[in-house]
Amino acid sequence: MQAPRFEKIAGRTDARGADEKPYMFVFILLDGFSHLSFISAVETLQTANMVAESRLYDWTTCGLSDGFVRSSVGLKVGVDNDIRQLNNPPELVIVSGEGAFDMDIGRLKVWLSRFVRGRTRISGLGTGSILMARAGLLQDTAATVHPWYRTGFAEIFPDVTLSRQTHISEGLRCSSSGGVSGVDLFLDLVAQQHGTDFSSSVAESMCYSPIRLLQKSVDTGAPNSMTVLQPIVSRAISKMENTIADPVSPSTLAKELGISTRQLERLFRRYIGMSPKRHYMRLRLREAYRLLVQSHLDITDVAFATGFASSSHFSKCFKAEFSASPFALKRTVNKR
């Protein structure tokens, strides 16, 4: 049976003029590439076309050879070109999945070397930022990667600034941390060309506006009880997560865990990079952000629900964390 290809749905009548071509993205699909990351990007571009009622964007796929590439969900996807057939692509997007640290990318690295000092923007989806680093494309710039790969990335590429954000969309080297963060990256790229109002309309058409607000609060380096391997720290974070509305002191946590407060402090500094009190505050503020975006609770109720005795103290802490007051965020949500 013939493997499926991703069809490009034709846009509506192009109001920009017959001679103006759509802006082209070239997706380099590598074996085991993240299916969700790829679809997130392409669907964002297609929705932008639909909202504009014009073919603003087009895309093509290529691989290390002609034929098919298998995605992370096992589908064989037909690519349009071999990378050797491409000359001066305007925009490159590398999409990969598991095995990015060990994958043979000799041919890809040689091909990409011509763009190291050029003006071509190169983005990484899935584990694409790992391949970008291996190809020497991330010198003097920042990148982001899925939390599963952060430790390995930091050890292998100590000279690359590893961001804690879900995506980086500025400059000529962009990346996302996997999954639906590809939507956020491409919404930002759309906004750079057509403005934030248009990008917001695209997000609304994808029913993605509330999720986009949540994504902006996500710190991929903020561990939770399921991602920390040190058992005492994991148990401490679990207790924090279960007592958001009625926070307890570090000394109480330490006593419940059977260790001293000083030991707890040392463990958090070593495995989390901050004090238990600071991490507890970040968990509470991120829960507050989610409540402001997802619920109809007013700001005072959100403050009490996340363990703050007063809305004024809550607002001060919230603004220090997110550079915006809860009132400003609530206004943004209510406009949507």
* Residue 9 banded pLDDT, cuts 50, 70, 90: very low
Give the integer Cα–Cα distance in Å for 329 and 336: 11
Mean pLDDT in residue range 257-262: 95
Mean pLDDT in residue range 239-249: 91
Residue 140 reports pLDDT greater than 50: yes
Specify the pLDDT at position 15: 41
Residue 11 reports pLDDT greater than 90: no
User: N- to C-terminal Cα distance for the chain?
Assistant: 45
Specify the pLDDT at position 218: 52
Interval 45-70: pLDDT, tens: 999 999 999 999 999 999 988 788 99
Only one residue has tokens 């070593």, namely 270
Specify the pLDDT at position 14: 41
Q: Are 215 and 169 in contact (CB under 8 A)?
A: no
pTM of the predicted protein model: 0.65
Specify the pLDDT at position 102: 84
What H or E segment, with its residue span, contains residue 101?
none
Structural tokens at position 96: 């990969």
**Domain spans in the chain, listed from the N-terminal domain onward:** 23-215, 231-334
Tally the C-alpha atoms within 13 A of residue 199's C-alpha that lie toward its C-beta. Answer: 15
Q: Which residue has the higher pLDDT, 14 or 113?
A: 113
Interval 177-187: pLDDT, tens: 888 889 999 99
Phi-psi region of 273 (alpha: psi -120 to 50; beta: other; left: phi over 0): left
Residue 7 reports pLDDT greater than 50: no
Only one residue has tokens 């970040």, namely 282
Only one residue has tokens 């750079």, namely 192
Q: Which residues contact 248 (CB under 8 A, 6 or more apart)?
A: 239
What pairing do the DSSP bridges indicate for beta strands 167-168 and 173-176? Answer: antiparallel
Q: Which residues contact 166 (CB under 8 A, 6 or more apart)?
A: 144, 176, 177, 181, 184, 215, 218, 220
CA angle 274, 280, 281 (to 5 degrees): 95
Where is average pLDDT lowest: 113-127, 181-195, 224-238, 260-274? 224-238
Specify the pLDDT at position 12: 34
Give the integer Cα–Cα distance in Å for 126 and 180: 10
Nearest of 207, 204, 208, 221 to residue 286 by alpha carbon: 221
Q: Which residue has the higher pLDDT, 336 or 44?
A: 44
Structural tokens at position 291: 């409540």
Mean pLDDT in residue range 242-249: 92
CATH homologous superfamily of 23-215:
Class I glutamine amidotransferase (GATase) domain (3.40.50.880)
Specify the pLDDT at position 147: 74
Specify the pLDDT at position 92: 94
* Residue 211 banded pLDDT, cuts 50, 70, 90: low
Would you call 39 exposed, middle or buried from its count of C-beta atoms within 10 A (0-12, 13-18, 19+)? middle
Q: Which residues contact 233 (CB under 8 A, 6 or more apart)?
A: 267, 268, 271, 272
- Cβ atoms < 10 Å from Cβ of 270: 10
Interval 90-123: pLDDT, tens: 899 999 998 898 888 898 888 888 877 778 899 9
* Residue 214 banded pLDDT, cuts 50, 70, 90: low
Specify the pLDDT at position 65: 80
* Residue 146 banded pLDDT, cuts 50, 70, 90: confident
CA 148 to chain centre: 13
Where is average pLDDT lowest: 23-27, 190-194, 239-243, 292-296? 292-296
Residue 312 reports pLDDT greater than 60: yes
- The CATH architecture of the domain made up of 231-334 is Orthogonal Bundle (1.10)
Specify the pLDDT at position 297: 83
Mean pLDDT in residue range 290-298: 79
Mean pLDDT in residue range 206-218: 63
| Own/partner pairs, 3-8, CB within 8 angstroms, 24+ separation | 3/68, 3/75, 3/76, 3/77, 3/78, 4/75, 4/76, 4/77, 4/78, 5/77, 5/78, 6/42, 6/61, 6/77, 8/46, 8/58, 8/59
Mean pLDDT of the chain: 84
Would you call 331 exposed, middle or buried from its count of C-beta atoms within 10 A (0-12, 13-18, 19+)? exposed
What is the DSSP secondary structure assignment for residue 141, as one 8-state letter?
S
Specify the pLDDT at position 31: 92
